[in-house]
Chain A
Amino acid sequence: MAANGNVNGSSLVAVLLVTRSRPGPKLVFHFPPNPQASRSIRGTDSNGCDSDENSESDTAIGEVKSVLRGNAAGEFVEDRTKLHDTTSGSTTNGDLLGFTEESLEKLLSPGCWSDRKKFEVCLDGLTFVGHPIYAAQDGSWTRRHTHDHDVRSEADKEKPVTPVKTALQLGGAGNDVNAARPHPGIAIAEPQTPAKAAHDFTHVPESLDSRAGQSFATSVNSGSSASAPTPEPLLSFNVVFVLANSRSTQNISRETSLVYSHVAKKLSKALNYCQKQLSYIGVESKKLLTVKAKAKQDGVDTSALCGRMIETSELAWALKEVYERISMGAIAGIRLNGMEMSLQIPLADSSSTGETSDLNIHAAILLLEDKDTLLRGLDHPDASPLASLIREHTPTKSLQKHAVKLGMQVNDVLYLARHLMKWQKACTIAPLHPRNTYIVGRAAPIYRLEQYTPEYAQRFSALPSLPQVLKVLSGRPVKYGMLIPSRDHRAPYMDILAYLVRHRFVEQLKTSGWLWAPLLSVAVSREAAGRVRNQEPNKNKRPLSVASLLSPQLRPVGDDDAASVSSERTAIPVSIAETMKGQASDNELHHEADSSHAESWNIITEPLDPSLEDSRRLEYIKDTVDDEELQDRLPSLLQYFNGKAVFEEIAAREGLKRSKLEAWLDMLQSEDFLLTYRHQ
């Protein structure tokens, strides 16, 4: 089974449905049919024969009950033993996760102290987590209306439940009738509670929980006038997710709480809603138990039984779906009683592309599925704002621009984007731009290249093949635009880029940096000495990588530069080596010249809160640069020279033209005031 085991880090091993009604808790359904915990589980102790086991547990439970209930308890102990006999007779193959079904039933039906709370039990390396839901104290599921129909009758209380029990125990005939019966079509407003629910719920037989019933004892009541859709009242249900605590699991408790809050709790709440409306769980679990009983008679094996149950019951199918999807880290789309819902464990902080996921108006989103597929999945593909966002979407534009284009509020666009991200239909990226540099990312699935090649070839026929493109991008970093042969090619090449980013082949190489400058006294002498040097076109002072980032024009492929890119990378083009050498010796001269002043050159690490010396340095920088506009704008740009901010994003944030900003940075660079580095 593909979904079995720990796919994508999820240590989910099984999902179980345990219900409790008067005869006791029942493990109604579990999936997968033969769950395999990734650790070896010790079997039940072999010392002591079966009869011993039964009597021990019976006495334990019975003891407690007799304390509470006196004679009534005896009756239920009896019932229980009967039930025991039938089950133990039929479950020959027995074990589930290394435990008997009865043990699990007892373990997973806690007392009403756990009602609508997190229920978590760890047993021998397995964590069971669920969100048990109980019927109201009177046994009804429609809380709001109970007081309206508060008909208390002693007669009700004493009414025997024997018929119900027989139906359950016999399994076959009686239940078939129930299962075949259509859902009662009663509206929400009308309480569904069967009249039988009026029973005395003080005992919760067969439960591990001993005194849970006490609080029930005070309130006795009838569920109302409604006809009884099911003859057997459901007291509680608990959808339990089982996680294995293997050695490789780093943090089982974190995973447990994720499964709880995003899956178990939400699913239980939805089921509770369905149960309130149409006694959904009651009906479905009855169906399932009938199938189970029949299968036992026929001697069907577990997997076949499981298949039958999934065919029979929508609930079983839903649980299977949830298990399979969630354990793969995917989204589970299920349908409960005609109501659709989706469940997922949200991804960790970083989105799937590894970009930072903080969404702001300057970020763009990248759709992870095709537009057509997404649009088809929408209810109103023509009209809704979401649909128009998807239709107009392009990863090269920031959300702000999208908002303007669509005539929507920025906040609305952010909301829609977040919605798409939440359901893994999109991720946030910095807007794709030909002036940015992209390189093959660390997480690039190179080993699955063959798998992507046909799709890529189909989409981008007549363009460079996927391996070729990646080969170029994994070489010396150049601006993406340099790879685009002509203006006409721009759109398809940007599509290629989006495709590569979507499949995590490439990441953006970002530039950050600081300003640095000499101390004023040094600066003056430097100015005297260095003016001459600065006059000459000295762009090559910095390594070419930086120079090319900041060069104002884009050149089409065919230039020397681009040729060197596509050539083998192991030998670095002479020009670069020369350049770097030149720069290095330049530096060397520099050091030789004022090695005693070396320390006075200082990086301004806190441009917004500079020390006295640093503010003098900043002044000096400002005075030295030639461009007046830059002098004006420099104070507002200072915040980006902190070593963290990404230079490629400045233009969008400041509302500047990229070429202008790059010219400015180039200017600072040529004056040797800018220290940049690049990172992924």
Chain B
Amino acid sequence: MLKGIFYARFHPGRGPSIIHQYPDTSIIAPDGATEDTLLSFSDISSYVIPPYELCNRPLSVCANGKRVLGFPISLEDSKYERNRFTFNVCFVLDEHEDARPWERVVHKAATFFTELEEENDMLQAEELLEGLKWAGDETYPAQDIGVIYTILESVMEDLNAYSETCVRIDGVNVLNLRLEATKVLPPKVRAWDVPLLIRSLPTHNEWTWDLTLQRIHSYMDGTKHVHRIAELADVELKLVKRAVRELLYHERVMLLDIFHFQAIFASTSDFSCFVKDDFMLEECSRYVAADPAKNIFRATQDLAPEQDHQRFFSKQAIISLYRDLSPGVSLHDFCLSHEPELSRIDIRRFITFGVLKGFLCRVHKYALAVASQPTLPRKSRSNGSSTKAGTSNDDVEKEWDRAWKRAAFSSGWATPPVEQAEAGSMPKRGFESARSANAQEETGQDDRLLEFLDGKHCMDGICVSMHMSEKKVVERLKSGKYGEVVFFCK
């Protein structure tokens, strides 16, 4: 809530002075009375019109429980007295109000006023108008003289009432301001996050879709993880992450975990809210109900065709089902032990609902190589960051190489004759080289896997970046190559 707004400048004769203010007696009262003003201008005048070297950047000060947001502008030109014209348009807020949304407004207003002055000489010229009253004069404001008072008035009234304003001075000078609540930037998207659209995206007419979004949109179905989307859409992973983060920011998607049956889910303390919320329970029973014919658990069950009302689960049944998800019980075990009930439930939706509503959370699995002697040289651990950077560089190179090859093969270019000749003339050697390449790749994989064993990487992430299933990864880690590997769930 804007408390006041004023326009002040450094006057060669009077020093820092307020020329216009709104409301009319908010900063300077006619008779010099200070009781009803928001603050004492003399206290803060040196921050409203600061020394020249601090100008042209945002400067705000708190006084008297108010925060004065300003953006002092100092223009240098020989046409001005003392070659300089310094002014500031200040917004007064309560000290405890969040000033961040206002910062951009203040900046834009300052830019607008600067343009008014630089291109139309309007600020300086206004003071020459006959009959203009200054803030603090008895009969301030003078009606219909000058434009600045009108601007201030509409800015404050409109921003307070509608959070936006549009003030038209003339054909070219239009001031548009809008207050936008600052949103917290969402966390970075990881390769194994699964984006799920929770609201449909605006059409192409309403939103300008960027190229990445256009390509990945059809792949975002709530089951594919970011890495997969990037592969399917043939878009660089970084761009996909960025696009998904953008959608997160606009609250169009939510991130889920990869759905697989090794995953462990546990209820959070929000579960009690879910139990008490009849509406949510209702919603849940509708959402998770599955067409029995399509359900994977259906095959093992021999239920008679059900009536429609039976397809929906009772609240109690849903609650007990969710309740049985606990740390230490993987989805696989859960499903085996609840097969009968699950015949009527879409298990993926069942999990998704809980995660989306926040009363269910994923328990991730981490692997840590415990300091015993692994058979592999532990270079990545001993060398620390330097090797890490090295390998990631290698990764980039490999990735690039792969991408290039794919592009080359799909483009229909002739492949380089050297390779052809080699492949054609020596099939046996080709086979050998393939085998050695295999072995090489394996060692490369070992090196990469070793990097994940620091307890910071969750199993989903490892699987995605290794292109391996969890089972395979676990098998590999247990092979003894990596020393003793301990798995933790948290």
Binding site for B on A (CB under 8 A): 42, 44-45, 47-48, 53, 56-57, 59-61, 63-64, 67, 99-100, 103, 106-107, 111, 113-114, 118-125, 207-212, 247-248, 250, 253, 439-442, 444, 446-450, 453, 467-468, 470-471, 474-477, 509, 512, 514, 516, 543, 545, 569-570, 572, 576-577, 579-581, 583-585, 587-588, 591, 595, 598-599, 601-603, 605, 642-644, 675-680
Residue from A125, A212, A447, A570 with most neighbouring chain B CB atoms (10 Å): A570
Alpha-carbon separation in the docked complex, A595 to B317 (Å): 11
Please give, as numbers and ranges, the residues of chain B lying within 8 Å of A675 by CB-CB distance: 319-320, 323
Inter-chain contact A678/B43, CB cutoff 8 Å: no
Please give, as numbers and ranges, the residues of chain B lying within 8 Å of A447 by CB-CB distance: 368, 454-456
A to B CB contacts below 8 Å, 8 in the list = A44-B53, A122-B60, A209-B46, A212-B43, A543-B326, A588-B341, A642-B272, A679-B268
Alpha-carbon separation in the docked complex, A123 to B69 (Å): 10
Inter-chain contact A45/B328, CB cutoff 8 Å: no
Q: Does B487 contact A (CB under 8 A)?
A: yes
In this complex, the interface size class of chain B, counting residues with CB under 8 Å from chain A, is 35 or more
A sample of 8 more A-B contacts (CB under 8 A), given A53-B53, A208-B46, A474-B489, is A106-B51, A118-B62, A440-B488, A569-B328, A572-B330, A576-B337, A584-B338, A677-B322
Residue from A247, A576, A642, A678 with most neighbouring chain B CB atoms (10 Å): A678
Inter-chain contact B317/A598, CB cutoff 8 Å: yes
Tell me, rounded to whole Å, the shortest Cβ–Cβ distance linking A527 to chain B: 18
Inter-chain contact B57/A124, CB cutoff 8 Å: yes
Inter-chain contact A588/B340, CB cutoff 8 Å: yes
**Cross-chain contact of A45 among B15, B53, B456 (Cβ < 8 A):** B53
A512 with B185: in contact, given A446-B366, A588-B341, A678-B267 (CB under 8 Å)? no
Inter-chain contact A60/B52, CB cutoff 8 Å: yes
Inter-chain contact A474/B490, CB cutoff 8 Å: yes
Please give, as numbers and ranges, the residues of chain B lying within 8 Å of A676 by CB-CB distance: 323
Please give, as numbers and ranges, the residues of chain B lying within 8 Å of A599 by CB-CB distance: 314-315
Alpha-carbon separation in the docked complex, A442 to B327 (Å): 12
Q: Does B316 contact A (CB under 8 A)?
A: yes
Q: Does B49 contact A (CB under 8 A)?
A: yes
Please give, as numbers and ranges, the residues of chain B lying within 8 Å of A119 by CB-CB distance: 62
Inter-chain contact A570/B47, CB cutoff 8 Å: no
Please give, as numbers and ranges, the residues of chain A lying within 8 Å of B474 by CB-CB distance: 570
Q: Does B370 contact A (CB under 8 A)?
A: yes
A476 with B328: in contact, given A471-B488, A584-B339 (CB under 8 Å)? yes
Alpha-carbon separation in the docked complex, A61 to B46 (Å): 9
Q: Does B82 contact A (CB under 8 A)?
A: yes
Alpha-carbon separation in the docked complex, A212 to B185 (Å): 43
Alpha-carbon separation in the docked complex, A122 to B69 (Å): 9
Please give, as numbers and ranges, the residues of chain A lying within 8 Å of B219 by CB-CB distance: none
Alpha-carbon separation in the docked complex, A209 to B12 (Å): 18
Alpha-carbon separation in the docked complex, A60 to B83 (Å): 13
Q: CB-nearest residue of chain B relative to A444?
A: B490
Inter-chain contact B314/A124, CB cutoff 8 Å: no
A124 with B271: in contact, given A67-B15, A577-B336, A588-B341 (CB under 8 Å)? no
A581 with B336: in contact, given A677-B267, A677-B271 (CB under 8 Å)? yes
Please give, as numbers and ranges, the residues of chain B lying within 8 Å of A580 by CB-CB distance: 324, 333-334, 337-338
A209 with B43: in contact, given A250-B184, A512-B272, A644-B272 (CB under 8 Å)? yes
Tell me, rounded to whole Å, the shortest Cβ–Cβ distance linking B389 to chain A: 19
- A-B pairs with the 8 shortest C-beta distances? A476-B328, A580-B337, A643-B272, A208-B46, A447-B455, A446-B455, A598-B314, A57-B51
**Cross-chain contact of B51 among A60, A579, A679 (Cβ < 8 A):** A60
Inter-chain contact A467/B276, CB cutoff 8 Å: no
Please give, as numbers and ranges, the residues of chain B lying within 8 Å of A512 by CB-CB distance: 269, 272
Alpha-carbon separation in the docked complex, A51 to B324 (Å): 78
CB neighbors of A among B417-464 (8 A): 454-456
Please give, as numbers and ranges, the residues of chain B lying within 8 Å of A450 by CB-CB distance: 371
Alpha-carbon separation in the docked complex, A543 to B336 (Å): 13
Tell me, rounded to whole Å, the shortest Cβ–Cβ distance linking A639 to chain B: 14
Inter-chain contact A476/B268, CB cutoff 8 Å: no
Tell me, rounded to whole Å, the shortest Cβ–Cβ distance linking A289 to chain B: 23
Q: Mark contacts of B28-65 with chain A using CB atoms, 8 A cut-off: 1 yes-contact digit, 0 otherwise.
A: 00000000000010110111011111111111111100
CB neighbors of A among B369-401 (8 A): 370-371
Q: Does B84 contact A (CB under 8 A)?
A: yes
Alpha-carbon separation in the docked complex, A572 to B341 (Å): 20
Inter-chain contact B60/A121, CB cutoff 8 Å: yes
Inter-chain contact B271/A679, CB cutoff 8 Å: yes
Inter-chain contact B53/A678, CB cutoff 8 Å: no
Tell me, rounded to whole Å, the shortest Cβ–Cβ distance linking B103 to chain A: 9
Q: CB-nearest residue of chain B relative to A514?
A: B275
**Cross-chain contact of A210 among B42, B98, B271, B340 (Cβ < 8 A):** B42
Alpha-carbon separation in the docked complex, A514 to B275 (Å): 10
Residue from A53, A107, A212, A441 with most neighbouring chain B CB atoms (10 Å): A107
Q: Does B479 contact A (CB under 8 A)?
A: no
Alpha-carbon separation in the docked complex, A355 to B432 (Å): 60
Alpha-carbon separation in the docked complex, A120 to B61 (Å): 6
Tell me, rounded to whole Å, the shortest Cβ–Cβ distance linking B54 to chain A: 6
Inter-chain contact B341/A211, CB cutoff 8 Å: no
A577 with B333: in contact, given A449-B368, A677-B323 (CB under 8 Å)? yes
**Cross-chain contact of B328 among A63, A121, A212, A475 (Cβ < 8 A):** A475
CB neighbors of A among B63-79 (8 A): 63, 76
Alpha-carbon separation in the docked complex, A59 to B84 (Å): 12
Alpha-carbon separation in the docked complex, A39 to B451 (Å): 32
CB neighbors of A among B336-380 (8 A): 336-341, 366, 368, 370-371
**Cross-chain contact of B262 among A124, A476, A570, A584 (Cβ < 8 A):** A570
**Cross-chain contact of A114 among B63, B317, B320, B371 (Cβ < 8 A):** B63
Please give, as numbers and ranges, the residues of chain A lying within 8 Å of B49 by CB-CB distance: 60
Inter-chain contact B50/A446, CB cutoff 8 Å: no
Please give, as numbers and ranges, the residues of chain A lying within 8 Å of B12 by CB-CB distance: 63
Q: Does B310 contact A (CB under 8 A)?
A: yes
Please give, as numbers and ranges, the residues of chain A lying within 8 Å of B51 by CB-CB distance: 56-57, 60-61, 103, 106, 208
Q: CB-nearest residue of chain B relative to A120?
A: B62
**Cross-chain contact of B317 among A57, A543, A579, A591 (Cβ < 8 A):** A591
Alpha-carbon separation in the docked complex, A437 to B314 (Å): 31
Alpha-carbon separation in the docked complex, A601 to B371 (Å): 54
Alpha-carbon separation in the docked complex, A221 to B262 (Å): 82
Inter-chain contact B10/A449, CB cutoff 8 Å: no
Inter-chain contact B275/A605, CB cutoff 8 Å: yes
Please give, as numbers and ranges, the residues of chain A lying within 8 Å of B59 by CB-CB distance: 121-124
Tell me, rounded to whole Å, the shortest Cβ–Cβ distance linking B249 to chain A: 13
Please give, as numbers and ranges, the residues of chain B lying within 8 Å of A439 by CB-CB distance: 327-328, 490
Please give, as numbers and ranges, the residues of chain A lying within 8 Å of B341 by CB-CB distance: 584, 587-588
Tell me, rounded to whole Å, the shortest Cβ–Cβ distance linking A187 to chain B: 37
Q: Does B329 contact A (CB under 8 A)?
A: yes
Inter-chain contact B337/A577, CB cutoff 8 Å: yes
Please give, as numbers and ranges, the residues of chain B lying within 8 Å of A56 by CB-CB distance: 51-52, 82, 84
Please give, as numbers and ranges, the residues of chain B lying within 8 Å of A581 by CB-CB distance: 336-337, 339
Alpha-carbon separation in the docked complex, A570 to B475 (Å): 12
